[in-house]
């Protein structure tokens, strides 16, 4: 099996948090217009934004990845608890609850960018990313696709407790 050739790369990153400790990447929630995205999770919106960034990096159009010549491999650790909590807190309830099945993110990417080729989902975080790279090479070597869109998205919701208040202190001081 030959090594897959990377034509373009879309990486979204934020800035390190100012607090001491491990680096935390703070990314704003990407926005998409239209009713279809009303229930979109942060993972879904980040995935769409990452594909946009990849296309921009490769100076490619959406048409370049549309169709059955592009295989789509999606990797996640499936930490949807963060999305579920964020969705409830932001929207104020479970009405129109977010789609959080592992298939939703790659499905939205396929719909948005017209990808109709081979499709796979790998769950398990970093080890699954390595497996996906190998599978991408196999798909290419076996001639099952012309290109592979390998998408890895994971987010965490960090809950930072509020500092303890002294009840004798005024909020206006």
Cα dihedral 130, 123, 153, 58 in deg (nearest 10): 50
Please check the confidence at residue 80 and state whether its pLDDT lies above 70: no
Identify the top-confidence range among 3-7, 19-23, 86-90, 156-160: 86-90
Query: Would 168 be classed as within a structural domain?
Result: no
Q: How many residues does the chain have?
A: 173
Q: Residue 116's domain spans which residues?
A: 40-152
Taking only the tens place, the pLDDT of each residue in 132-155 is 989 999 999 999 999 999 988 766
How many structural domains does the chain have? Answer: 1
Query: Would 76 be classed as within a structural domain?
Result: yes
**Placement of tokens 């942060």 in the chain:** 42
Query: Would 164 be classed as within a structural domain?
Result: no
Query: Would 145 be classed as within a structural domain?
Result: yes
Q: Give the domain CATH number at 56.
A: 3.40.47.10
Query: Would 3 be classed as within a structural domain?
Result: no
Distance between CA atoms of 111 and 102, rounded to whole angstroms? 15
Positive or negative, the CA dihedral 142, 143, 146, 149 is negative
Closest C-alpha to 76, from 47, 112, 115: 47
Distance between CA atoms of 11 and 51, rounded to whole angstroms? 9
Query: Would 117 be classed as within a structural domain?
Result: yes
Query: Would 8 be classed as within a structural domain?
Result: no
Query: Would 22 be classed as within a structural domain?
Result: no
Read off the pTM.
0.71
Distance between CA atoms of 116 and 139, rounded to whole angstroms? 15
Lowest-confidence pick of 92-96, 132-136, 166-170: 166-170
């Amino acid at each position: 099996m030959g090594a897959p050739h990377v034509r373009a790369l879309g990486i979204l990153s934020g800035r390190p948090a100012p607090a001491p400790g491990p680096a935390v990447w703070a990314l704003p929630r990407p926005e998409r217009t239209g009713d279809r995205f009303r229930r979109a999770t942060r993972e879904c919106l980040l995935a769409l934004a990452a594909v946009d960034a990849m296309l921009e990096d490769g100076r490619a159009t959406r048409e370049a990845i549309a169709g059955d010549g592009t295989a789509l491999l999606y990797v996640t650790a499936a930490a949807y608890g963060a999305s579920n909590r964020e969705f409830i807190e932001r929207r104020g309830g479970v009405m129109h609850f977010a789609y959080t099945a592992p298939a939703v993110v790659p499905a939205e990417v396929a719909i948005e960018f017209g990808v109709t080729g081979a499709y796979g989902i790998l769950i398990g975080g970093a080890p699954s990313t390595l497996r996906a790279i190998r599978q991408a090479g196999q798909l290419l070597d076996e001639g099952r696709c012309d290109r592979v869109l390998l998408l890895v998205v994971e987010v965490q919701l960090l809950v930072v407790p509020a500092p303890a208040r002294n009840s004798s202190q005024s909020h206006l001081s």
